[in-house]
Amino acid sequence: MNSVPYYVGRFAPSPSGPLHYGSLVAAVASWLDARAAGGRWLLRMEDLDRPRCEPGAADTILRQLEAYGLAWDGAVLVQSQRDDAYAEALATLQAIGALYPCACTRSQLALAPRNHEGEIIYPGTCRNGLSAGATARAWRVRVPDVNARFHDRIHGELQQNLAYEVGDFIVRRADGLFAYQLAVVVDDAFQRISHVVRGADLLWNTPRQIYLQSLLGLPTPSYAHVPLVINAAGQKLSKQTLAPALPETGRSAILAQALAALGHPPPAELTGAEPAELLAWTAAHWKIENVPARSAFATPLP
Ligand code: GLU
């Protein structure tokens, strides 16, 4: 165990459905990184996007984590109960003049250029005020035209120019909900997270989050983005790509496969060992530098 002085990690699933193999890989990586450092591992239910949440999914996720031996510390933080904290952060951003109202609809932005993640780069239509008769729908944060550098423990030194690659981004959505970028920053600080370990689909969200942290005077945790699991068509496993829920049986083999995808294949003598034993062995041998940066193919689950 290479203890670091202060380590608090977290897993932050969205309860839009049960965990699938791709989300297991991310959960296992953040659990191992925390436990290998002698740290705490917290859980946060990201049920911010109410319309996308599935009834019962949060409980299912907790049961799935337990079945894989992924024990968490303390109470689960639930985003749907945190509106006051997000409203306060929004008010702070407003008070420092970082925000402006935006009247653009999705269809008005449909033809705007997109970045390498396929996201619309906001062209700044409402940046200098709403046009006459337009109604404010969402709130955006103004981003600077600078190359922001950041470090990822797996991907190394990276940089992104928010103005060119993202544009002013939404912190309060047209439907009144707080945006993920705002909530994640507020909650990582509230839970005093020191190390974020999550899927590489969120890698290019990191500069937005670091920028919000700087505006709100919050600390920046260290970041590591673990390989995404993709299906045979090269798509990320997700609810949208119809990734199946983790099966109720064969956990030991599934976990061994997840550990191999993270560059830590368990030794042959642990074949068939209980999840808790596999995790304990891997925590003792965990080296983040062995985690590959590239995506892993999902082989059919046993
Ligand atoms: N809730 C997000 C997801 O399930 C993860 C957020 C994060 O780890 O920052 O994709």
Closest ligand 1 atom, residue 13 Cα:
4
Task: Say which residue the tokens 């993640």 belong to.
Answer: 117
Q: What does pTM read for this prediction?
A: 0.95
DSSP one-letter code for 130: P
Are the C-beta atoms of 123 and 129 separated by less than 8 Å?
Answer: no
Of 98, 94, 92, residue with least CA distance to 127: 98
Q: How many CB atoms lie within 10 A of CB 82?
A: 17
Q: What is the pLDDT of residue 296?
A: 75
Q: What is the pLDDT of residue 294?
A: 85
Q: What is the pLDDT of residue 146?
A: 94
Closest ligand 1 atom, residue 26 Cα:
8
Tell me, using a 6 A CB cutoff, whether residue 10 lines ligand 1: no
Q: How many CB atoms lie within 10 A of CB 45?
A: 22
Task: Say which residue the tokens 């109470």 belong to.
Answer: 75
Mean pLDDT in runs of 10 for the chain (302 residues)?
82 96 96 98 96 96 98 98 98 98 95 93 96 94 96 97 97 97 98 97 97 98 95 83 89 96 96 96 98 78 54
Strands of 134-284 (E only): list them. 138-141, 147-152, 156-161, 169-172, 195-199, 222-226, 229-230
Q: What is the pLDDT of residue 7?
A: 98
Tell me, using a 6 A CB cutoff, whether residue 228 lines ligand 1: no
Q: How many CB atoms lie within 10 A of CB 236?
A: 16
CA distance linking residue 62 with residue 144, whole number of Å:
40
- Pocket test residue of 23, 43, 54, 184 for ligand 1, highest count of atoms within 8 A of CB: 184
Are the C-beta atoms of 159 and 150 separated by less than 8 Å?
Answer: yes
Q: What is the pLDDT of residue 193?
A: 98
DSSP one-letter code for 49: S
Structural domains for the chain:
8-82+188-297 (3.40.50.620), 83-180 (3.40.50.620)
